[in-house]
Amino acid sequence: MKRIAFYGGSFDPPHNGHLTIARKLSKLFALDDFVFIPAFHAPHKKSKKPTSAFHRFAMLSLATETEGKIRVSTVELDAPEKPFTYETQAKLKNDSPDDEIFLVIGADSWAEIDTWREWEKVLTLTNVIVVTRPDYEISFSHITEKIKKRIINLKDNQESKTKDQKIYITDAVNLDISATEIRRKIRAKENDWRELVPNEVAKYIKKYELYI
């Protein structure tokens, strides 16, 4: 049985924070594989149009090409229709029935999880790892008591009250890098954005004149 984490998102662009999450969680949870899943467009973010899927997949591939157990999946890009997260989870479980699956989400996604389609199913289909941000207060007021029983706060060594799929809250990644801020810096011609992304990603952004 393998332990595999899947991290979905726009990755627009992929940055050093994303890679740090992959590396640290791989070690903390003894993962066999860490898989990025770029999405065409998050269904619950209809007002925000990301950079083309081709560019985002290419940048992720460049960012992870020397990372060993860290890779990129096209499971959502290959879907005939834009899937919701719970649909992707179900497919991943079906494709790897003997493996232990973890879904990785950020603090911002956790804060709005109750706006996702079938959000309680998302939090119960697989294990979930919530990665907090520095000085960011994680709230639990928006989730049900049933869901709260699944939570393990690694910082407080809190134990889960259920044998079902777990929700892990971790502050193991002490970085706060924003793709939105990177795009802003590029538009504003602030060259320090290059320090926030892998070198090959910076070259790609420059070559194709993205985010200007």
- Asked if residue 15 lies in contact with residue 59, where contact means CB atoms within 8 angstroms, the answer is no
DSSP state at residue 169? E
The residue-averaged pLDDT of 119-127 equals 97
> Domains in the chain: how many in total?
1
Within a domain: 45: yes
pTM confidence score? 0.92
Within a domain: 25: yes
Within a domain: 75: yes
What one-letter code names the amino acid at 188?
A
CATH of the domain at 112: 3.40.50.620
Cα 50 to chain centroid distance, Å, stands at 15
Within a domain: 55: yes
Least Cα distance to 15 among 189, 173, 188 occurs for 173
Within a domain: 185: no
Within a domain: 193: no
65: containing domain: 3-176
User: 78: number of CA atoms within 13 Å, CB side?
Assistant: 7
Tens digits of residue pLDDT in 52-110? 999 999 999 999 999 999 999 999 999 878 899 999 999 999 999 999 999 999 999 99
Angle at 24 between CA 166 and CA 138, to 5 degrees: 50
Within a domain: 96: yes
For CA atoms 131, 133, 138, 144, the dihedral sign is negative
What pLDDT shows up at residue 96? Answer: 95
Within a domain: 144: yes
